[in-house]
Chain A
Amino acid sequence: MSDSKLNTLTLAAAVAGAVSMAAMTIPSTASAAGKEKCYGVSKAGENGCANISGTHSCAGQSTVAFDNGEWKLVAEGSCVKMGGSLEGSEGVNEEAAMKAS
């Protein structure tokens, strides 16, 4: 299919092939199971973020004051360790990429 002009027969053959193999194809949700999440395959829903997001409650908050200090706003999470290489074209080495936690 490297020819950029697509002909009807090629298209029909590809669709027929796809349909015949679809039932045997492992869905992404299943193939993601057990794989290392850090490689971009996520069996999501597991981290629970969406499970609790936007949850209503009628409770008050125990914190009744704010830190409105004039400190300089600097990102200080995992980006501090990953971010050093943002300008460069080299990959981050493993140590540098290690997330802050």
Chain B
Amino acid sequence: MPPPSPQDPSTSSTRPSPIPAAAGVGLRHPHIAAFADGVAEATWVEIHSENFFAPGGPRMAQLDRVRKNYPISCHGVGLSLGTAEGLDQDHLRTLCRLVDRIDPILVSEHLSFSVVDNIYVNDLLPLPYTEEALEVVTRNIDQTQEALGRQILLENPSSYLTFTDSTFTECAFLSALVERTGCGLLLDVNNIYVSAQNNGIDAVAYLDGIPGNAVQEIHLAGHTVNGADDDRLLIDTHGDVIADPVWTLYEKTLNKIGPRPTLIEWDTNIPELNKLLAEAGKAQSRLDAISDNKGSTRVA
């Protein structure tokens, strides 16, 4: 695969996805042995990149075994693309080493920040959508794509608030980043739903604002409802099956942009592997349905 030219969004954002539009699952510790042994019935898996930043040891050895059996996508949670003080170069180098080691099918990060004054806040903190933030994130994505020699996907965050400072909508902000950097998008449909509910935004309108051809991966996860009435907040816990309205929004997404590789994330209250794979099965049947409708064939 030739390295993308980040300056040319027309080629990189419309490039066919390097993986089939099939449903995969997030690789989590309780299930890792099944994947290392190659016995889990899954098409592809996604790791949190930072969990595999060690120079050696059993966890890395297991990852190598998983890689022999499944395509892997690297989903970063710590690069902090939104950080105003510039990327941690050590972190970026370690990410490059991991990418070299496992040759992932996709590399993604979040539209968020978590590093300030060299302190790492272990959460995906939201950005105000301003011209200044746009410049910061553009610079950081450019640097990342240059270091990796490949395109990255940027994930829309789940958020619990909005900033008075924002001058862009989230969609407009994401679209501008796609245009400026040639990055792709990882559309987290649960995050759209969670943020829309929390911030009084129309999820379907949000979907209409997303440049569909830039989307190369979709995330689905469960959320938790906290509080009621005026106090009601949805928390993006990744701790349950996917909620019905999120499935509905997923179907709308597929209808609009076509089938895309879809990943089930389950991070808290992690279930038996079968239950996780059953969620992937539900996504797969929707992918199959849309592929059939569009007359295209799915590469399994």
Direct contact, A vs B (beta carbon within 8 Å): yes
Binding site for B on A (CB under 8 A): 45, 48, 51-52, 54-62, 64
Bound Cα distance A26, B158 (Å): 53
Given A45, A58, A61, which contacts B48 in the complex, CB threshold below 8 Å?
A58
Q: Return 26 A-B CB contacts under 8 Å, by A number.
A: A45-B58, A48-B29, A51-B29, A55-B48, A55-B51, A56-B48, A56-B50, A56-B78, A56-B122, A57-B48, A57-B267, A58-B48, A58-B110, A58-B238, A58-B267, A59-B221, A59-B236, A59-B237, A60-B123, A60-B158, A60-B224, A60-B236, A62-B226, A62-B237, A62-B268, A64-B235
Structural contact, B51 and A56, CB atoms closer than 8 A: yes
The 6 residue pairs across chains A and B that have the minimum distance between CB atoms:
A59-B238, A59-B267, A57-B267, A56-B50, A56-B48, A60-B236
* Binary contact readout B221-251 vs A (1 if CB under 8 angstroms, 0 otherwise): 1001010000001011111000000000000
Enumerate chain B residues within 8 angstroms of A57, measured Cβ to Cβ.
48, 77, 238, 267-268
Q: Output the least CB separation between A54 and chain B (Å).
A: 8
Q: Are B265 and A58 in contact (CB under 8 A)?
A: yes
Instruction: Give A64 to B237 CA distance when docked, in angstroms.
Output: 11
How far, in Å, is B197 (CB) from chain A's closest CB? 14
CB distance from B35 to the nearest CB of A (A): 14
CB neighbors of A among B56-81 (8 A): 58-59, 75, 77-78
Verify A55–B224 contact, CB threshold 8 A. Answer: no
Contacts A45-B58, A57-B268 given; 5 further ones with Cβ under 8 A?
A51-B59, A58-B267, A59-B236, A59-B267, A62-B226
The interface residues of chain A lying within 8 Å CB-to-CB of B158 are 60
Is the beta-carbon distance between A61 and B235 smaller than 8 angstroms? yes
Q: Report B29-53 CB contacts with A as 1/0, cut-off 8 Å.
A: 1000000000000000000101100
Q: How far is the CB of A40 from chain B (nearest CB, A)?
A: 22
- Answer yes or no: B124 CB below 8 A from chain A CBs: yes
A interface SS class: loop
Question: A55–B270 Cα gap in the complex (Å)?
Answer: 13
What's the Cα separation between A45 and B58 when bound, in Å?
9
Q: How many A-B Cβ pairs are below 8 Å?
A: 56
CB-CB under 8 A from B268, the residues of chain A are 57, 59, 61-62
- Across the interface, which residues of B come within 8 angstroms of A59, CB to CB? 221, 236-239, 265, 267-268
Q: In the bound complex, do residue B58 and residue A51 qualify as a contact, i.e. CB atoms below 8 Å apart?
A: yes
B residues less than 8 Å from A61 (CB atoms):
235, 237, 268
Q: Quick check: B78 and A60 within 8 Å, CB to CB?
A: no
B235's partner among A45, A51, A55, A60 (CB-CB below 8 A) is: A60
Nearest opposing residue in chain A for B223, CB measure: A60
Bound Cα distance A57, B221 (Å):
13
In the bound complex, residues from chain B placing their C-beta under 8 Å from that of A52 are 29
Chain B contacts for A51, CB-based, 8 A? 29, 58-59
CA distance A58 to B268 in the complex (A): 10
- Chain A residue numbers with a CB within 8 Å of B238 are 57-60
A62 to B267, CA, bound (A): 12
Q: Which of the listed residues A56, A57, A58, A64 has the most CB atoms from chain B within 10 Å of its own CB?
A: A58
- Please report the C-alpha to C-alpha distance between residue A61 and residue B268 in the assembled complex, in whole angstroms: 8
In the assembly, what is the distance between CA of A56 and CA of B80, in Å?
Answer: 14
**Which single residue of chain B is at the shortest CB-CB distance from A64?**
B226
